[in-house]
Structure 1
Amino acid sequence: MTGAAPVDRVVLVKLQPNQDVTQALEQAARICGFASAHILGAVGSVVEAVLDHDGQELRIPGPGQEIACLSGAIKPTGGSRLSGYVCCVDTSVVGGTLVYGRNAVGVTFEVLLAGQA
């Protein structure tokens, strides 16, 4: 693949209930010794979703909101920005950037991370 970032290792990360998604992925990247990482795939839920949607904070109350199509670069030192879509219980879908520190894992959340040392 031309232009693709080199990858040293791919890991499957299982986040635990009540961990913030973004902060937990930063911690996982640190533990794995990654200088940077990106998301290859993810599936999971948050207790409630809090997104930045077109500059407005949007809170989508739970219980349990599914996150689909999560993407973004993970900075092990903090300040990562992750984007995704929330599949709401009323069948609507809302996209935006996860507000840092405000998206606690519901039951489970699995993420496939590709990292560079």
Structure 2
Amino acid sequence: MQKWIFFVLFILAGVLGLGVLFQDISERQEAQEAEAAASKLPQLKIVASNWQFDNANYTVKSGETTKVSLSLKEGVHAVEIKGLDIHLDKENPSKEVKFDKPGTYEIECVLPCGEGHATMKTKLVVQ
């Protein structure tokens, strides 16, 4: 009798394990599909290192939804794009933004990062 109980418990545990496995696989597939859809968006990657950005000016097209992301090469930084309500930091490194208003906007580091912090600025041109 005990053998049958253990056999049934073993089968139930196996079925439960397979259910969890397939659920995890489907969740990963959904995440990959969402990532693939997001990767079709134009990208604006801002790379910050100690007291400078990788470009003097960044350019995006007006009217397009763009994925804006912050990459930290050296140090800890947080950036704000003045006039567009965009704030990126270590916890929130990317954001999808529709740039509706053409113009030139200032990007600056808003997290005190050392002696060169005051000059850590660049421009974003929305054409």
Normalised by the length of structure 1, the TM-score is 0.29
Higher relative contact order, chain-length normalized (CA < 8 Å, sep 6+): 1
More strand by share: 1
More helix by share: 2
Which one has the largest radius of gyration?
2
